[in-house]
Amino acid sequence: MITRNFCKRQKAWMAILLTVAYLLVAAGCATAPYTGRKQVLMVSQEKELSLGYQAFKEIKKESRPSKDQALQARVRRVGERIAQAANRPDYRWEFEVFEDDKTANAFCLPGGKVGIYTGLFKYIKNDADLATVISHEAAHALARHAGERLSQGTLAQLGGTALGIGLGAFGVSSNASRVAMQGYGLGTKLGVLLPYSRVQESEADRIGLILMAKAGYEPERALEFWERFATGKKDKAQLPQFLSTHPSDATRIRNMRAHLPEARRYYVARNENPPLAAPPLWSAHRNLPQHGRPR
């Protein structure tokens, strides 16, 4: 005799299998530029760009742009060289400095929307430092890391839903189910999301070295910036690496040093930068021809 519980469990298994099938169908495969890492993306690039442009509009409404026009011009000049190296004519590149001396940070949203907070300039001593920061952030956009994070969040949510269905179908008590779901959430965060975030950060470091080299900045100079940045944070509490979204400073610098020979193959020296008072114009956010190929 087929019992009610048997039917209930059958339906639960079907729901779980359908969830897995949906994940396999929805998850598109892609490859990260330069590194060749396989990616799972469940969001279209068009949607990703739209979200990036909208988010940048909101940030510009809520944050105060720096009134230092020489600084803004310098950031745009260096940023445009990085954008040329990135060679993404479909991105609407934009570079903005925001007033916040307490925030030593920068970001790049999908579509090439780059923001740098003034608090980071206590570590930036020259254009090579600035190129290091911008190229790292641009690499996140180039490798579609935002789309990957959105996809991973969706996968984790669907996995939790499937687990909840299974626990309920097999008569697991509410207390045990709650503990299991909490364990799933913690395990997903520590075992998947945070390590994956560190993978993305390391990948952005590697691609960033290549971008700054293609733009005519010596990639070795990036180590000087990150070592200075790490020294400046030594007096602040640091999370253990397994709890952090970023690799430890020592790990980051060691990995970047290992990637220097690769980046060096892309380097082509350029002439000295023009005066800050007269930055070159970059028409219609279009990428210009690249400055050399890997040797």
Name, in order, each residue with C-beta under 8 angstroms of 218's C-beta and a sequence gap of 6 or more.
128, 267
At 45, give phi and psi (nearest 5°): -65, -35
User: CB neighbours (10 Å) of residue 4?
Assistant: 7
Given a contact cutoff of 8 angstroms between Cβ atoms, the answer to whether 227 and 123 are in contact is no
Between CA 180 and CA 178 the distance in angstroms is: 5
Which residue among the candidates 137, 148, 201, 203 is catalytic per the annotation? 137
User: CB neighbours (10 Å) of residue 262?
Assistant: 16
To which residue do tokens 């390590």 refer?
Answer: 195
Q: Based on the residue annotation, tell me whether 137 is a catalytic residue of this protein.
A: yes
Q: Which residue, among 50, 246, 242, 48, has the nearest Cα to 150 in the 3D structure?
A: 48
Between CA 208 and CA 202 the distance in angstroms is: 10
- Which tokens sit at 114? 């780059």
Active site amino acids: 137
